[in-house]
Chain A
Amino acid sequence: MVKQVRQISGVSCTVQLSKRILSDRIVAGTVRIHGPNFFWLKRRSQLDNARKMSRQTARIADPKKVNSELFTLTYGALVSQLVRDYESVDDVNKHLERIGYNIGIRLIEDFLARTNFPRCHDMRDAADKIQQAFKLYLGLSPGISNWSNGNEEFSLTFESTPFAEFVELPDSCSNLKYGNILPGVVRGACEMVQMEVQSWIIQDTLKGDNITELRIRFIKKLEDAIPAGED
């Protein structure tokens, strides 16, 4: 490899060309090395440009934030592809919930790392934390309501969900639970903190109701919880 470089560049490169230049040469393909110094200078200027660009883009848009329309369109593409792939709408609902579950078991780690909340004592605490999670990740502020008698069951109400913007359900999919990923996320997240919950959607703006309502019921506390795993 070193011999080739010497022949091409015509400049006598020392045998001690660092490994990195050689690997870059291989990766870059047609990039010509005129000598190790020149190459390093070139790389450094490239790095400077990249740093300048990132400073400019940081002023324009926070690189960690995503346009909400992109998120809406992505979710819409996912659901419509599932509808096309699976024959029955119930299958799609189940898969959406499972996708949500897989997201939830991972998202809880990020949530706890960011917020560092202590253990919840009862469902009221848990409801509060779930509400804060929605605020943190989706920018929504759901209302908590409809507590059951034993304080084990409650509802989260959303005025509008961000990913249901622009969506109109076709007649063939009137049973589709478009936002069914949300109950799955809640179930997955709670399972990782040793709470088994059941969650489902009661009202849905896409079906003509005024609000979207998500009901969460506490089943039992898990001991030695091992996640069910992806099936």
Chain B
Amino acid sequence: MAVCVAVIGKDNGPMYFRTRQSGVEELQYHFIVSSALDIIEERVQSSGKSGILPGGVSNPGALEITRELYLGALTAQEEYKVYGYMTNTKIKFVIVIEESSTPLRENDIRTMFRKLHGAFCDLMSNPFYSPGSEIRSKRFHDVVNSIVAGQ
């Protein structure tokens, strides 16, 4: 059950932040997402150092050739798990999942990120949206609602 969805820009500034219910808990999720950013940077740097060539042959010391966008589980605590996804334009999506009785499969998480990425691309195509600014689009909001509520 996704409790928090965040979109962070390429300069690590927040673009969009949404929690399942707003209130006192929101501050906690801000903290969780910010600490997840460090892990994302670490993950991306390490995958860049040992670049994976297409075909699966690893090439230590190579430049970043292809990097998978989905970064997987970043951190996990008793109550929640944090998943990350970074596009090639350095836009980061972070989803915080609450641990529940029915654990979500990795495929479901990938689907959520794919939907987010699609909604983000549509948002970018809006001529009245200036890239890097706060996201106020109703359409994007609806997609995030469906992600948060869908699971």
User: Hey, which chain A residues are within 8 Å of B127, CB to CB?
Assistant: 73, 76-77, 79-80, 167
A169 at the A/B interface (Cβ < 8 Å)? yes
A residues near B126, Cβ cutoff 8 Å: 76, 166-168
Chain B: CB-nearest residue to A167: B126
Main DSSP-derived SS at the A contact region: helix
Please, what's the 1-or-0 string for A67-88, where 1 marks a CB less than 8 Å from any CB in chain B?
0010011001101100100000
- Residue-wise, chain A 48-83 has the 8 Å CB interface mask toward B (1 for contact) of 000000000000000000000100110011011001
- Per the bound structure, the CA–CA distance linking A73 and B128 in Å amounts to 11
Question: Across the interface, which residues of A come within 8 angstroms of B125, CB to CB?
Answer: 69, 72-73, 76, 165-166
- Sorted nearest first, the 9 A-B pairs with minimum C-beta distance are A76-B127, A166-B125, A80-B127, A170-B128, A166-B126, A166-B122, A168-B126, A168-B137, A80-B128
Q: 11 extra interchain contacts, Cβ-Cβ under 8 A, other than A73-B125, A168-B126, A169-B128?
A: A76-B127, A77-B127, A79-B127, A83-B128, A165-B125, A166-B123, A166-B125, A167-B126, A168-B129, A168-B139, A173-B128
Residues of A within 8 A of B122 (CB): 166
Q: Which residues from chain A sit less than 8 Å from chain B, CB to CB?
A: 69, 72-73, 76-77, 79-80, 83, 165-170, 173
* Interface membership of B105, Cβ < 8 A: no
Interface of chain B residues 96 through 151 with chain A (CB within 8 A): 122-123, 125-129, 137-139
* Nearest CB of chain A from residue B144's CB, rounded to whole Å: 15
A21 to B122 CA separation, bound complex (whole angstroms) = 51
Which residue of chain B is the closest to A79 with respect to CB atoms? B127
**Residue from the set B122, B123, B126, B138 with the largest chain A CB neighbour count within 10 Å:** B126
Minimum distance in angstroms from B68 CB to a CB of chain A = 26
Select from chain B the residue with minimum beta-carbon distance to A166.
B125
Q: How long is the Cα–Cα vector from A165 to B126 in the complex, in angstroms?
A: 8
Chain A: which residue is nearest B127 at the CB level? Answer: A76
